[in-house]
């Protein structure tokens, strides 16, 4: 039997060799997989037990998880969870994996929602519920509506809401606005599909495991964004905001689409990498 420390070192070197990771990135992923194989122990537990001997069944389970990662399967799908905006969310292959870039959209929305005023917020294409639940928890007197056209994704979002004990969010099966009826909102947020349908990256690395319908949107990647911008005007209150996540090179195009649709005070927000990631407009 191998010591935990040696198992980590060997697995780290395999990720460096197979996936061209640096040592730090490899160590983070190995610890995440090993923690999961051991029953979701904490990273502190792993550090404290580095000299422990690993039982054969645990080693076999870990090796199976490591093989899946080397084959390219995302860590979030292997472990079934992903941290987002301080929340632990359940993730499955039926949902897009929440990414740090999308936290920019949450922060932009929270900046528009007073803590002492009830806002009506709509999250289009909620997936795991990440955006809706992050807003709901940070603005508990506001009401959040989270919609998705996928029954399986919506079921995961509901589970996450229950696990996090969130009471100010409702979940609706809806293809964008199809089930909203006549309700109006102060803020509409969305991280819609925005990758070009012909982009080769859709069939590479982590993206090839994620639902294509949550990633690609027409020849230029903007089909769904166009639909959302045009239709949202029927569902926004006066002085309501539409806030959209988009691709790294789409800020100017999204700004132009908002302007043509009659939105004002249009601006874009940078993510942690300094990329214009979210574009917002106000409907006067």
Please report whether residue 180 resides in a domain.
yes
Q: Are residues 155 and 240 in the same domain?
A: yes
Query: What distance lies between CA 171 and its chain's CA centroid?
Result: 17
Q: Are residues 65 and 126 in the same domain?
A: no
Q: Are residues 133 and 51 in the same domain?
A: no
Please report whether residue 165 resides in a domain.
yes
User: Which pLDDT value is given to residue 49?
Assistant: 93
Please report whether residue 79 resides in a domain.
no
User: Which pLDDT value is given to residue 190?
Assistant: 98
Q: Are residues 168 and 279 in the same domain?
A: yes
Please report whether residue 246 resides in a domain.
yes
> Does residue 240 contact residue 264 with C-beta atoms inside 8 Å?
no
Please report whether residue 276 resides in a domain.
yes
Distance CA 201, CA 206 (A): 9
Q: Are residues 153 and 217 in the same domain?
A: yes
The pairing of beta strand 236-245 with beta strand 169-173: unpaired
Q: How many domains does the chain have?
A: 2
Q: Are residues 22 and 154 in the same domain?
A: no
Please report whether residue 201 resides in a domain.
yes
Q: Are residues 65 and 160 in the same domain?
A: no
User: Which pLDDT value is given to residue 209?
Assistant: 67
Q: Are residues 228 and 269 in the same domain?
A: yes
Q: Are residues 128 and 202 in the same domain?
A: yes
Q: What is the CATH number of the domain that holds 151?
A: 3.40.50.150
Strand, coil or helix: 256? helix
The residues, any chain, with a CB within 8 Å of residue 96's CB and separated by 6 or more, are 127, 128, 191, 210, 211, 214, 215
User: Which pLDDT value is given to residue 199?
Assistant: 67
Long-range contacts of 60-68 (CB under 8 A, 24+ apart): 61/37, 62/7, 62/11, 62/33, 62/34, 62/37, 65/33, 65/36, 65/37, 66/11, 66/14, 66/15, 66/30, 66/33
Please report whether residue 200 resides in a domain.
yes
User: Which pLDDT value is given to residue 268?
Assistant: 98
Q: Are residues 49 and 147 in the same domain?
A: no
- Tens of pLDDT along the chain (284 residues)? 788 999 999 999 999 998 888 999 899 999 999 999 999 999 899 999 999 999 999 999 999 999 999 998 999 999 999 999 999 999 999 999 999 999 999 999 999 999 999 999 999 999 999 999 999 999 999 999 999 999 999 999 999 999 999 999 999 999 999 999 999 999 999 999 888 787 676 667 767 766 767 666 778 889 999 999 999 999 999 999 999 999 999 999 999 999 999 999 999 999 999 999 999 999 99
Range of the domain at 279: 94-283
Q: How many residues does the chain have?
A: 284
Q: Quick one: which of 114, 115, 117, 135 has its CA closest to 126?
A: 135
Q: Quick one: which of 70, 72, 74, 75 has its CA closest to 35?
A: 75
Q: Are residues 110 and 23 in the same domain?
A: no
Domain closes at, from 71, 103, 118: 71
Strand partners of residue 147? 124, 172
Please report whether residue 133 resides in a domain.
yes
Q: Are residues 10 and 127 in the same domain?
A: no
């Amino acid at each position: 039997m191998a010591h935990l420390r040696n198992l980590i070192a060997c697995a780290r070197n395999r990720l460096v060799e197979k996936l061209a990771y640096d040592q730090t990135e490899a160590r983070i992923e190995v610890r995440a997989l090993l923690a999961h194989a051991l029953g979701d122990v904490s990273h502190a537990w792993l550090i404290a037990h580095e000299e422990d001997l690993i039982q054969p069944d645990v080693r076999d389970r870990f090796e199976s998880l490591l093989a899946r990662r080397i084959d390219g399967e995302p860590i979030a799908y292997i472990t079934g969870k992903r941290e987002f905006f301080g929340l632990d969310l359940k993730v499955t292959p039926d949902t897009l994996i929440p990414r740090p870039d999308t936290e920019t959209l949450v922060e932009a929305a929270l900046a528009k929602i007073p803590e002492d005023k009830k806002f009506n917020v709509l999250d289009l294409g909620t997936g795991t519920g990440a955006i809706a639940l992050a807003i709901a928890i940070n603005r508990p007197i506001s009401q959040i509506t989270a919609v998705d056209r996928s029954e399986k994704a919506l079921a995961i979002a509901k589970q996450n809401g229950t696990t996090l004990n969130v009471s100010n969010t409702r979940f609706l099966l809806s293809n964008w606005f199809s089930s909203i009826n006549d309700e109006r909102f102060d803020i509409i947020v969305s991280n819609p599909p925005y990758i070009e349908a012909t982009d080769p990256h859709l069939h590479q690395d982590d993206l090839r495991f994620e639902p294509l319908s949550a990633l690609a949107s027409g020849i230029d990647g903007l089909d769904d964004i166009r639909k959302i911008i045009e239709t949202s005007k029927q569902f926004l209150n006066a002085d309501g905001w539409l806030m959209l996540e988009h691709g790294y090179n789409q800020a100017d195009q999204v700004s132009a689409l908002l302007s043509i649709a009659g939105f004002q005070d249009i601006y874009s927000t940078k993510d942690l990498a300094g990329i214009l990631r979210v574009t917002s407009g106000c409907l006067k």
